[in-house]
Amino acid sequence: MKGEHKMDEEELDNIIVLNDEDGNEVNFEFLDLVELDGEEYVVLLPTDESEEEPGEVVILQVEDTDSEDEESYVSVEDEEVLNKVFEMFKEKFKDEFDFIDEE
């Protein structure tokens, strides 16, 4: 799943910081929130990718926490769910991104 996108200055407001499994901070550009079967999924693009290289998007499921101000994101293991969310994202943003199909 790859998408290429040119980043404008105003899009820097869409940056979110997540911690990876080693506790390191990783910056992502928030691209979209997709709802599927009553669940919400975020589509993120790592910001440390080279601008010339197509970036691979990351899809995470939104998990509610006890705090109203916080959300938690968990990885999605179900390949079918990932593909459905990505297809919905591609359809919604087909005019804004150049998608590259990798087989």
Task: List the chain pLDDT tens, one digit each, 103 residues.
Answer: 444 444 444 445 788 888 878 888 889 999 999 999 999 999 999 887 545 455 788 999 998 777 766 778 899 999 999 999 999 999 998 888 777 766 5
* DSSP 8-class letter at 13: G
For residues 41 and 86, what is the distance between their CA atoms, to the nearest angstrom?
10
Cβ–Cβ under 8 Å, residues 98 and 6: no
What order of strands is seen across the sheet that includes strand 71-75?
A: 15-19, 25-36, 39-46, 58-64, 71-75
Q: What is the DSSP letter of 81?
A: H
Q: Quote the CA–CA distance of 53 and 5 in Å, as a whole number.
A: 10
- Whole-model pTM: value is 0.74
C-beta neighbour count of 1 within 10 angstroms: 18
